[in-house]
Structure formats: C-alpha cells, structure tokens
Structure 1
Amino acid sequence: MAFTLHELAHAYIAYKFGDPTAKNEGRLTLNPLKHLDPIGTILIFIIGFGWAKPVPVNRFYFKQPRLAGVLVSIAGPLTNLMLAFFAQATYIALDIASVQVPLFVSDLLITMVSLNILLFVFNLIPLPPLDGYRIIADLVPNHVRPKLTQYEQYGGLVFLVIAITPLSKYTITPLFNVTIPAIGQFLGKVVGAIFGL
C-alpha cells in the first residue's frame, strides 16, 4: 500500500500537470503489480529493504517545469505522511471507541505509521534518485542544475556508502533516530488534538 500509493501520487500529479507518460504505461492505477519492482520486492522479504518501480516523468509536457517537478516529486513522500496520519488516527479512534480488534489489525496500523514515516523521511534524502534530490534539483538556480546532473550517476553509490558501511552510524542512523520519532510524536499530537485528547 505504501509503495503503490507513493508511486500513484507521482503519476497522478504528473498527469494533472499535462504529462501522460505514466498514464500511458498503466501507472495511474491502484494495482500494486504495476508499481512493484521485481528485485526491489524480493529484497523486501530477504533483507527487509526494497523499492518500487520509479514512475516515468517527461518534464517537456510541463508548462512550468520547475513548479510541476517539485510538486510531482514531493507528492510521493507527502502521500506516505498522510498514510501514517490516517493509520495513527484509525488506531486512536478504535482505542477511544473501545473497539476490540484482532491483534494483527492493531499491529498492522502501528507498522503502517512507522513504515510510512520511514518512507517519508527516506525519500526526502537529497541523493539521486530519491525524491529529495529531485526537489532540490528543481529549486536550485538554472546554472547549478547542470553541475548536479553530472554527479547523478554517483548518487546510488554515495547512498550505499553512507547507509551500509560504518559511516551509517554518523549519517543515516542519526537521521532516522531523530526525525522518525519526532514526526511520530508530532502526528500523535495532531491526532490527539483532533480527538480532543
């Protein structure tokens, strides 16, 4: 669900800005089979980490490429944040109403909250090919963008170095350890305020 809605959000916003590329490739759908990458999906089950198939975007269709590019890129992470919010709200609503649900349902909701916050933060890391990099690439001045582009091919390697080597203790791990709980607490306060807690 997290991957599917993330990629669908990219495809939908791109389509709304005039780019039919993703729609023409069948990506404007809730069918997860259209969005899951075979290798990325297998790795989820093997190592607990994977990825979905990136949505194709053709910027030449955009009348305002920079604005559309930012909104298309941020649509995926924001969708994950909204999923975390709705899962948290559902969990609290069930608790307030004293609704007895199977343990797997409450576990699923808790997992949805943490997983979608993780995806929100992860995808905003400013390294290619992640959404955070795409957002920055569209926000920087025109003369800077070509300089960024020439280093895009090294983005995956840089990420692996800072994520799976001992350097992760000083890069990715602190980022996740600080931001994910902070966002979780913020969502909890927002949901609590909505329910008058």
Structure 2
Amino acid sequence: MGLISLLSSDPLAFLIVAAALLLSLAFHEFAHAWTADRLGDPTPRRFGRVTLNPINHLDPIGSLLLLFAPFGFARPVPINPNNLGRWGTLWTAAAGPLSNLLIALVCVGIIAVVPRETLLAGGTLATFLFTVLSVNLGLAIFNLLPIPLLDGSRIVGGLVPSLGRSLSQFEAQPFSFVIVMVFIFLFSDQLGQLIATIRNGLLSVVL
C-alpha cells in the first residue's frame, strides 16, 4: 500500500512521511543536478534542475505511485554523459544516494544532542527526525541496488565499462522504463524486505 493508506488512519503520520519524502527526493535529485553541473555538464541547469525547489523535481507518475503503490520516484535529472565522461557520470549517479546518507547522518547528529526524554516522549520532533532518518536510509539503499535505471546500476556500469555499455543499451530501449517498473512492482515485497533488513541493521548500529 502507498501513503494514501495513512491518510485516514493517521493524518499526522501521513503529513510527516510525505514531507520527509518530498524533501529527501528533492535533495537527492538536486545532488545529481549539482554534481553534473559542477563537473561540466550544463544539461541539468538548462532544465532548471539545479534547485532545491521540490516542485521542479516532482514526477506526476512517480508521485501517484508514492500515494497508491509501495514505491515511487522523482523526475530523473537529464544529463549528457558525453560532457561528463566515465568517472563524471559515475560520481553524478553516486551523488543521489550519498546525499541521502548525508541527511541521515545529520539526523543522527541531531538525535544525539536532543535530550533523551524528548525522544522517548515521541513528540512531533522525534517522530519527524526518525522518519527522515529512516526514509533517507531507505532511499539510499534502494537507489544503490544494481537495477537498470537506478543509480546503483550506473555506478556498477562506471566501474565495469563493458557492463555499463550493455546497461546503457537496455536503458535506451523504448520499453525499458516499463520493464523496470513492472519488475519492481512484481518483486516489491522482496525488495521491501531486503531494504528494511539493511536499514534496520544500520539503524541498530547508529542508534
């Protein structure tokens, strides 16, 4: 189920999770755009993506999926790999998950200095901090999976050029997006369990 299931049962939780997702996805896509821009590719700036404004990063289909399905996505940042080269493309791909890990670390730092009794009381601040932490760890793990169209596949492709060429050829196919979305939907339970297991393991370490 998507976020919409929270709306009737716990409207405050819906707002907190929606805000955490919106901010985290926007920062993720901004990180891609900013990195590509800094490494010499003007494409993201030309499309108005070097911004933290969430509206510029929203995808209509991805947003609907977040509401009604167990997954979703923001609008991918357009880049030109010819302007970036192999390593520039790799770092641009890695910037998204790294930005989510950075937000997670900031949350851990804030949690470390917030009085313990405030956290245990479970107020809005504590709920928001833990939600943002959990969401960003989940986003980082998901995007690092070596599935075509995700950042993880592009990182692997940068490290293994022959595989990267095959992945690029697949992604260039007209129905590659649909194939990947169907795959993620069919295996959403298994992928969700994998992400949750890794995320909970990380949370147990940092907290």
TM over 0.5: yes
Alpha-carbon RMSD: 2.5
Report the CA distance between 1:96 and its aligned residue. 4.9
Structure 1 residues 156, 178: closer, same or farther in 2, change over 3 A? farther
Report the CA distance between 1:94 and its aligned residue. 1.2
1:59-138 matched pairs, under 5 angstroms: 59-62=81-84, 65-96=85-116, 103-138=123-158
1:52 counterpart residue number: 74
When you count helix as a share of all residues, which structure comes out higher? 2
One-letter amino acid of the structure 2 residue matched with residue 13 of structure 1: T
**Aligned pair partner of 1:157 in 179, 195, 200:** 179
1:146 counterpart residue number: 165
Question: Are 1:28 and 2:50 an aligned pair?
Answer: yes
One-letter amino acid of the structure 1 residue matched with residue 38 of structure 2: K
CA contact (8 A) 1:129 1:156 kept: no
2:14 counterpart residue number: none
Give 5+ residue unaligned stretches, structure 1: 189-197
One-letter amino acid of the structure 1 residue matched with residue 168 of structure 2: T
CA contact (8 A) 1:128 1:156 kept: no
Post-superposition Cα deviations, 1:55-104, rounded to whole Å, max 9, x if no partner, equal 01112222xx1111111001000110111111122123112596999812
CA distance in 1, matches of 2:67, 2:197: 26
CA distance in 1, matches of 2:129, 2:122: 11
Report the CA distance between 1:155 and its aligned residue. 6.6
Report the CA distance between 1:175 and its aligned residue. 1.9
Taking structure 1 as the reference length, the TM-score comes to 0.81
More moved, 96-105 vs 35-44? 96-105
Post-superposition Cα deviations, 1:120-157, rounded to whole Å, max 9, x if no partner, equal 0000111111000111111113x443333333344752
CA distance in 2, matches of 1:155, 1:30: 25
Structure 1 residues 144, 38: closer, same or farther in 2, change over 3 A? closer
Taking structure 2 as the reference length, the TM-score comes to 0.77
**Aligned pair partner of 2:32 in 4, 7, 10:** 10
